C-alpha cells in the first residue's frame, strides 16, 4: 500500500467529529440552540467525540434551513445570542471538544443587507457583490429550473445556483472577497476552531460563462462549477484562516470524480474534503464500500474523510443498514477504525430511521418543495408529485433527536469504538499494509511504528471464524464473524 511516510500530526486527524443539525437538535428538555447544546455536551463527551460540526446558525429566513444567511455576524434568535454561543464554545473547549461551523460563502439570502442595497440601482456600491445580466445563459439551478431570476426593480436578472432567494456572491469582486475574509476572522477571533465550507467548488469566480451542454436531455454542469479561479479563492480563504494557529477547514466539494476531489485537498487549499462517493452510497454494497476505501487510499494525496450519514442524505439505518442493527454496528466500527477522519451525524449513534412526508405540508426542505412544484407543472398528479418530492426530500434525516433510547445497543458499540480510536495513535496515523476484499468481507491491517491492528468486517452470507495468532488480542468484536459481524485485533 502507499502512504507509508509518517503523517503530519494534527488535532483534527485525532478527532471523531459529530455533526449537529441545528434546526432539529434539542436537548432532553426540548430546548433548541446553544443552551440546549450546552446541556448535551456531557452526552457528547461521554460518547467520546473530540469535534463538533454545527450546521448554519447565523441569522436567516431559513428558506434552506440556514444555508441562506442574511447576516454573517449575527446569531439567529431561535438559537440564542452571541453570548450564548461564546459560553457554549468555552464549555466545549473545557471538555476538550473543538467546534467548527458551517460557512456558506457561495451565496447569501436575498434578505441580506448587501443584496437589498445591490438591487436598489445598477450603480449601487454593492451591485457587484452579486452577478447580474440583461441576457441570461442556459444555466440551471441545482434545485431545479432556471438559475436566473428577473429583478423588477432594475430590470436585470441575478444568478442563483440554488433557490431564487439565495443569490450567488461574486467572487470576482475583490471587495466582496475582503468582506468574506473579514467574516472568517470575526469568528476565529471569538475562538472557533475552523469551518466546514459549503459547496466550496461552486464559487462564482469568473463571471458568466458559456452555456452548459446537454447530455441525454439533462444539463451537464460544466461551466458553472470548478471554475479556473476557484482554487485561488480557496487559497485566500486558507491564508486568512492560517493566520490563527491550529485551525481546520473541511470542504464540501460537489463532484463524483476522485481526481477533482483530491485536487482541492492540500496544505494551501482544504485540509480535508468530504468524499460523497463513499459517504452517500445509495444502497448497501460491501464491495462498493471497499472500492471507495481503496480509491481514497490510492488516488487522494491527503487524509480521507469517513462518514455514512449527513443532513443531506437518508439515514444510515434506513439506507445502508436496511433496519438491521448488526449491520449498522459493523459499519460504525469500520468507519471508526479505518484510516481517515470520521464524522457521525447526530442520531446515527442510536440508529434513527428516515422520516417520510405524508403530505406536502409535511415537507420543509426547499429542494423537495421545488421538485414538487416542478412535477405539478409537468402534469403530475398531487400523489405522484409527492412521490417525486420524497425522492429528493432531505427531511428524511432531519427529525428531532430523541433522548428516550434507554440502553441502546448501537450506542454502546459507538462508545466502545470511539474509545478504542481515541486510545491509540495507530487509529489516527496508522497506514494500511493491507486493504482487501474477499467473499463479502473487508479486511485491513494498519501499522503505526511497531503497533499493528487488523480489522475484519464480514458482510457476506456465511459465518467466518478468525483464528488468532500468538500475541494477537481482541480489541472489539467477536472471533466468530457472523454476517454483519466485525473484529478489531491488535498484534503485539
pLDDT tens readout for residues 150-160:
999 999 999 99
Reply yes or no on whether the pLDDT at 1 is more than 70: no
CB 219 within 8 Å of CB 138: yes
User: Stretch 48-60: mean pLDDT, rounded?
Assistant: 98
Whether residue 167 lies inside any domain: the answer is no
CB 101 within 8 Å of CB 195: yes
User: Stretch 387-399: mean pLDDT, rounded?
Assistant: 85
Distance from C-alpha of 479 to C-alpha of 467, rounded to nearest angstrom: 7
Percentage of the residues of the chain whose pLDDT score is greater than 90: 83
Whether residue 128 lies inside any domain: the answer is no
User: Stretch 44-49: mean pLDDT, rounded?
Assistant: 97
User: Stretch 459-469: mean pLDDT, rounded?
Assistant: 96
Q: What is the pLDDT of residues 263-305, one digit of tens each?
A: 999 999 999 999 999 988 999 999 999 999 999 999 988 899 9
- Residue 68 carries which DSSP code? S
Whether residue 131 lies inside any domain: the answer is no
| Domain region containing 326 | 11-109+173-428
CB 489 within 8 Å of CB 467: no
Q: What is the pLDDT of residue 358?
A: 85
Residue 168 appears among annotated catalytic residues: no
Q: Which residues pair with 480 in a beta bridge?
A: 465
Cell triple for 332: 460504525
Q: What is the pLDDT of residue 31?
A: 87
Q: Where are the beta strands (DSSP E) in 211-319?
A: 214-215, 218-219, 248-252, 272-274, 305-306
Reply yes or no on whether the pLDDT at 339 is more than 70: yes
Q: What is the pTM of this model?
A: 0.93
3-state helix, strand, coil in the chain (%, to 5): 35, 20, 45
CB 427 within 8 Å of CB 438: no
| Catalytic pick among 19, 226, 252, 349 | 252
Reply yes or no on whether the pLDDT at 6 is more than 60: no
Whether residue 192 lies inside any domain: the answer is yes
Among 45-49, 59-63, 96-100, 361-365, where is mean pLDDT lowest? 361-365
Q: Where are the beta strands (DSSP E) in 234-304?
A: 248-252, 272-274
Classified as helix, coil or strand, 167 is: strand
How many residues would you count in the chain? 492
Whether residue 103 lies inside any domain: the answer is yes
Among 113-122, 124-133, 166-175, 313-322, where is mean pLDDT lowest? 313-322
User: Stretch 3-14: mean pLDDT, rounded?
Assistant: 78
Q: What is the pLDDT of residue 389?
A: 86
| Catalytic pick among 198, 226, 329, 484 | 198
Q: What is the pLDDT of residue 406?
A: 72
End-to-end CA distance of the chain: 21
Q: Is 204 exposed, middle or buried (0-12, 13-18, 19+ CB in 10 A)?
A: buried
Number of domains in the chain: 1
Q: What is the pLDDT of residue 164?
A: 97
- DSSP class per residue in 206-265: S---PPPPEETTEE--SSSSS-TTHHHHHHHHHHHHTTSTT-EEEEE---S-HHHHHHTB
Distance from C-alpha of 385 to C-alpha of 369, rounded to nearest angstrom: 10
Cell triple for 13: 486527524
User: Stretch 46-75: mean pLDDT, rounded?
Assistant: 97
Smallest CA-to-CA distance from 418 within 472, 320, 488, 483 is with 488
User: Stretch 226-255: mean pLDDT, rounded?
Assistant: 97
Whether residue 102 lies inside any domain: the answer is yes
Whether residue 140 lies inside any domain: the answer is no
The torsion angles phi and psi of 5, rounded to 5 degrees, stand at -65, 150
Residue 252 appears among annotated catalytic residues: yes
User: Stretch 52-80: mean pLDDT, rounded?
Assistant: 97
Q: What is the pLDDT of residue 4?
A: 47
Whether residue 126 lies inside any domain: the answer is no
Average pLDDT in the chain: 94
CATH number at residue 85: 3.20.20.80
Smallest CA-to-CA distance from 99 within 187, 165, 10 is with 187
User: Stretch 234-250: mean pLDDT, rounded?
Assistant: 98
Q: What is the pLDDT of residues 174-218, one digit of tens each?
A: 999 999 999 999 999 999 999 999 999 999 999 999 999 999 989
Q: Where are the beta strands (DSSP E) in 8-97?
A: 17-20, 51-54, 58-59, 71-75
Q: What is the pLDDT of residue 368?
A: 87
User: Stretch 343-350: mean pLDDT, rounded?
Assistant: 96
User: Stretch 230-258: mean pLDDT, rounded?
Assistant: 97
Alpha helices in 48-106, H assignment, sequence order: 82-94
Amino acid at each position: 500500500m502507499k502512504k507509508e511516510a509518517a503523517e503530519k500530526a494534527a488535532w483534527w486527524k485525532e478527532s471523531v467529529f459529530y455533526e449537529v443539525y441545528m434546526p432539529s437538535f434539542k436537548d432532553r428538555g426540548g430546548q433548541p440552540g446553544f443552551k440546549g447544546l450546552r446541556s448535551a455536551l456531557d452526552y457528547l463527551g461521554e460518547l467520546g467525540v473530540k469535534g463538533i460540526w454545527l450546521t448554519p446558525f447565523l441569522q436567516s429566513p431559513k428558506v434552506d434551513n440556514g444555508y441562506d444567511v442574511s447576516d454573517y455576524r449575527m446569531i439567529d434568535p431561535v438559537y440564542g445570542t452571541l453570548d450564548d454561543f461564546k459560553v457554549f464554545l468555552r464549555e466545549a473547549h473545557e471538555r476538550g471538544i473543538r467546534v467548527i461551523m458551517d460557512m456558506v460563502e457561495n451565496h447569501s439570502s436575498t434578505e441580506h443587507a448587501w443584496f437589498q442595497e445591490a438591487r436598489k440601482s445598477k450603480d449601487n456600491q454593492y451591485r457587484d457583490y452579486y452577478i447580474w445580466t440583461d441576457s441570461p445563459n442556459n444555466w440551471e439551478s441545482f434545485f431545479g429550473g432556471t438559475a436566473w431570476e428577473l429583478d423588477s426593480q432594475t430590470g436585470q436578472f441575478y444568478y442563483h445556483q440554488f433557490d431564487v432567494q439565495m443569490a450567488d456572491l461574486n467572487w470576482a469582486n475583490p471587495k466582496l472577497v475582503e468582506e468574506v475574509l473579514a467574516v472568517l476572522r470575526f469568528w476565529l477571533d471569538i475562538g472557533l476552531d475552523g469551518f466546514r465550507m459549503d459547496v466550496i467548488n461552486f464559487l462564482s469566480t469568473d463571471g458568466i460563462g458559456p452555456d452548459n451542454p446537454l447530455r441525454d436531455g439533462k444539463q451537464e454542469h460544466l461551466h458553472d462549477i470548478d471554475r479556473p479561479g476557484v482554487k485561488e479563492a480557496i487559497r485566500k480563504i486558507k491564508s486568512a484562516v492560517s493566520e490563527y494557529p491550529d485551525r481546520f477547514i473541511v470542504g464540501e466539494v460537489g463532484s463524483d470524480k476522485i481526481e477533482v476531489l483530491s485536487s482541492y485537498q492540500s496544505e494551501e487549499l482544504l485540509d480535508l474534503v468530504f468524499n460523497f462517493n463513499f459517504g452517500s452510497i445509495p444502497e448497501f454494497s460491501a464491495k462498493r464500500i471497499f472500492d471507495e476505501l481503496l480509491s481514497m487510499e490510492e488516488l487522494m494525496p491527503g487524509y480521507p474523510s469517513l462518514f455514512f450519514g449527513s443532513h443531506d442524505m437518508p439515514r444510515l439505518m434506513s439506507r445502508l443498514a436496511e433496519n438491521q442493527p448488526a449491520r449498522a454496528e459493523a459499519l460504525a466500527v469500520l468507519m471508526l477504525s479505518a484510516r481517515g477522519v470520521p464524522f457521525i451525524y447526530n442520531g446515527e449513534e442510536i440508529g434513527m430511521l428516515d422520516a417520510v412526508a405524508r403530505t406536502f405540508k409535511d415537507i420543509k426542505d426547499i429542494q423537495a418543495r421545488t421538485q414538487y412544484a416542478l412535477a405539478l407543472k409537468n402534469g403530475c398528479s398531487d400523489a405522484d408529485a409527492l412521490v417525486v418530492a420524497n425522492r429528493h426530500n432531505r427531511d428524511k434525516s432531519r427529525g428531532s433527536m430523541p433522548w428516550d433510547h434507554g440502553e441502546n445497543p448501537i450506542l454502546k458499540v459507538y462508545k466502545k469504538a470511539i474509545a478504542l480510536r481515541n486510545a491509540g495513535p495507530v487509529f489516527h496515523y496508522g497506514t494500511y499494509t493491507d486493504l482487501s476484499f474477499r467473499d463479502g468481507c473487508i479486511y485491513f491491517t494498519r501499522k503505526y511504528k511497531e503497533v499493528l491492528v487488523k480489522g475484519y468486517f464480514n458482510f457476506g452470507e456465511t459465518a467466518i471464524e478468525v483464528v488468532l495468532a500468538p500475541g494477537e488480542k481482541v480489541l472489539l468484536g467477536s472471533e466468530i464473524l457472523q454476517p454483519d459481524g466485525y473484529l478489531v485485533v491488535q498484534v503485539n
